[in-house]
Amino acid sequence: MTASFRVLTTGYADARVAGTVTLVIDDETVAIVDPGMVADRRLILDPLAHSGLAPEDVTDVIFSHYHPDRSLNAVLFPEARFHDHMAVCHEDIRENRNADGYRLSPSITLMTTPGHTAEDVSTLVTAVEGLVVLTHLWWSAQGPADDPFVLDREQLRASREKVLALGPALIVPGHGAPFVPSSSTPV
């Protein structure tokens, strides 16, 4: 089984900030990863509509962590279950669970990857392209090599090494376009 993924909007972090927002579809699972800050909500909703989906079709929303640039637009998806590092929430029900190894579908798995924050989660997607990792361990392919907000540099390095050891075909970073990891990808 393989999932499909599509970047709905590519993020950036300079004078202004927007998060990269991604759609992942695996059979009945329609997930949005990091529906955070964007210049206009249409930058999320229009590409979703072009994919033939309405906000109500989204079954799951995944937060890599709880900064506003990752979570601000979660309310756009009223039917979704919400996933973080320690729970799944839907309406007024909270199910505690560890995200590490949690499978949303046969091709979508969560992995704890502390670094940018202690609660970071990366989304692993088995896609036609190979393994695609949606993560905030990297801001973009262009950097910064060292996360300026990291509290524990060694923890970030360990999580980056953990992801790179999986041999991902693509990394979808927190504030940039997908990139192919290489020997020059910062650890």
Q: What is the CATH number of the domain that holds 46?
A: 3.60.15.10
| Domain presence at residue 179 | no
| Domain presence at residue 159 | yes
Structurally, how many domains does the chain consist of? 1
Question: Which residues have CB under 8 Å from 40's CB, separation 6+?
Answer: none
- The answer on pLDDT for 22 being more than 80 is yes
Q: What integer is the mean pLDDT of 72-80?
A: 98
| Domain presence at residue 184 | no
Cα gap 147→105, rounded to integer Å = 31
- Residues 35, 161, 178, 1: is their CA dihedral positive or negative? negative
Structure tokens at 50: 């072009």
pLDDT above 90 covers what percent of the chain? 98
Q: What integer is the mean pLDDT of 141-160?
A: 94
| Domain presence at residue 181 | no
Give residue 1's pLDDT: 73
| Domain presence at residue 30 | yes
| Domain presence at residue 139 | yes
- Domain coverage including residue 58: 4-172
| Domain presence at residue 178 | no
| Domain presence at residue 47 | yes
Give residue 166's pLDDT: 98
Give residue 92's pLDDT: 97
Average pLDDT, the chain: 97
Q: What integer is the mean pLDDT of 120-126?
A: 98
Q: Which helix (H) or strand (E) holds 32?
A: strand 29-33
Structure tokens at 55: 């906000």
Give residue 70's pLDDT: 95
Q: What integer is the mean pLDDT of 116-126?
A: 97
Structure tokens at 70: 């990752």
Q: How confident is the model at residue 106 (pLDDT cuts 50, 70, 90)?
A: very high
Give residue 151's pLDDT: 87
- The answer on pLDDT for 160 being more than 80 is yes
